[in-house]
Amino acid sequence: MIHLETDILIIGGGIAGCIAAISLANTHRVILIDKNKEPNERIGESLAPAAQRILKQLNLIEDIDKASVYNEPLYIKNMGMQSFWGSDKVHIVDHLRNPDGFVQSLNRKKFESYLRESALNRGIKCLWPVKLQTSNYETNYWHITANSNEKIGQKNYHIKSKFVIDASGRQSNFARSLGVKRETIDKLIACWATMPNYLQNTMSTISACKNGWWYSAVLPNNKRVMAFQTDADLIDKNDIKKSTFFIELAKENKEMECILKETKSELQFHGTVAANSSRLKQFTGKQWAALGDAAISFDPLSSQGMYNAMASAMQLTTLIINHNLIHDYTIEKDKSFQHNYTQQINAIWSHYLQHKKLFYSAEMRWKEASFWKRRF
Ligand SMILES: Cc1cc2nc3c(=O)[nH]c(=O)nc-3n(C[C@H](O)[C@H](O)[C@H](O)COP(=O)(O)OP(=O)(O)OC[C@H]3O[C@@H](n4cnc5c(N)ncnc54)[C@H](O)[C@@H]3O)c2cc1C
């Protein structure tokens, strides 16, 4: 057993965990763990323009542009969105007048690798692949056991920490280990595929249909992602595992059919992921807080999940630093911290729900269909 002690243990080296670690690097001892040796290939590429401010604040923007380090660009400018929502006439949304600039279409895996590397370079003790096993609170410290998630030469860790940040994504593994429940408000899933892009038009496309909505965007290296969002109970569980079914479904949508015409045989189907709106029933407690998707997760229609992960990481770490919660802990400070953090996350959640309702209610063409009826 390897024994370690730290001020703050962050569980999850995704966007939320890395941004929190980097912003605490100068003021606290931080250990960051992730169960995966390297980031997975995953869906979710559109980074909201406002995220640039956070990357600048943490001095992360310049290195991103040294794309050659990674042999391929971490992102490309997203030229805008063509939307077929509420009518079959196209509506164009561009970012030309946005003071923060363009939406960035990320190479998601490379971007997450870059954040992990930046955390390492800022002196954070990073452990991966290391997976949370158990958590126990005793005499003002969290005692966490974790192991290296490898069959051969497995390492076991005991980490003693003054504070734990749960940045483990929708699974919210640490909070769940404490018995905190998660509230799920819909059954949205996304089935997705990638393919080469051969089209000149590099705008993203969003297109509503009776049982959900389609989305496609161009990625760095002239790749393209295509995804169908629907409710898990509106689609056959076995059918949706097949790429042939995905292709047939896509052909029923005029805009997706146009894209597929060029690329069908080179399509790589990645299966289905959860895309529901959900939140923990408690975001924080004695010497812990949940962050990013672990606290609240959004419908991909919002395209705000990564920005929320970054912005709430900044809010959380600012609260920790301003309360001087770790170096001079008192129960009163902890209570004030918990109260403020809960208010902040509740405000984001209620704002998000209002926007979600507004967006979905702009589509009335299939108002009697189950998918849409559930969302008005
Ligand atoms: C279909 C779909 C499309 C999306 N598209 C977009 C988009 O275009 N733009 C956008 O901004 N957002 C998008 N999102 C949302 C976005 O991907 C998430 O909001 C974002 O990944 C949240 O980051 P996070 O760091 O909180 O969590 P995650 O990215 O889930 O990171 C959690 C990390 O914790 C690690 N972990 C989990 N359990 C453990 C454990 N027990 N021990 C150790 N480590 C653990 C995982 O390996 C992972 O690295 C999309 C989501 C979906 C489902």
State the DSSP string of 63-75: HHH-GGGGTS-SE
Task: Return d(Cα 216, Cα 205) in angstroms, integer.
Answer: 5
Predicted pLDDT at 112 = 96
Predicted pLDDT at 93 = 82
Predicted pLDDT at 68 = 47
248-279 pLDDT tens trace:
999 999 999 999 987 767 899 999 999 999 99
Task: Return d(Cα 261, Cα 313) in angstroms, integer.
Answer: 42
- Kindly give the pairing relationship between strand 91-93 and strand 125-127: unpaired
Query: Closest Cα to atom 5, ligand 1: which residue?
Result: 44
Around ligand 1, the residues with Cβ closer than 6 Å are 11-17, 33-36, 43-47, 131-132, 167-169, 171, 173, 190, 227, 273, 275, 292-294, 300, 303-307, 309
Query: How far, in Å, from the CA of 303 to the mean position of ligand 1?
Result: 12
Structure tokens belonging to residue 221: 């290296």
Kindly report, as residue ranges, where domains of CATH 3.30.9.100 are found in the chain. 188-274
Query: How far, in Å, from the CA of 297 to the mean position of ligand 1?
Result: 9
Amino acid letter at 237?
Answer: K
Q: In whole angstroms, how far apart are CA 297 and each of 73, 109, 190?
A: 28, 19, 14
Contact 174, 168 (CB under 8 A): yes
Amino acid letter at 61?
Answer: I
Query: Closest Cα to atom 1, ligand 1: which residue?
Result: 190
**Stretch 175-194: mean pLDDT, rounded?**
97
197-212 pLDDT tens trace:
988 888 999 999 999 9
Q: Name the residue with higher pLDDT: 219 or 101.
A: 219
Is 188-274 assigned to CATH 3.40.50.720? no
Calculate the dihedral angle through the C-alpha atoms of 298, 302, 307, 311, rounding to the nearest 10 degrees.
-70
CA 312 to chain CA centroid, nearest Å: 12
Query: How far, in Å, from the CA of 365 to the mean position of ligand 1?
Result: 32
Query: How far, in Å, from the CA of 293 to the mean position of ligand 1?
Result: 6
Is 2-44+107-184+279-359 assigned to CATH 3.50.50.60? yes
325-353 pLDDT tens trace:
999 999 999 999 999 999 999 999 999 99
Kindly report, as residue ranges, where domains of CATH 3.50.50.60 are found in the chain. 2-44+107-184+279-359
Query: How far, in Å, from the CA of 232 to the mean position of ligand 1?
Result: 19
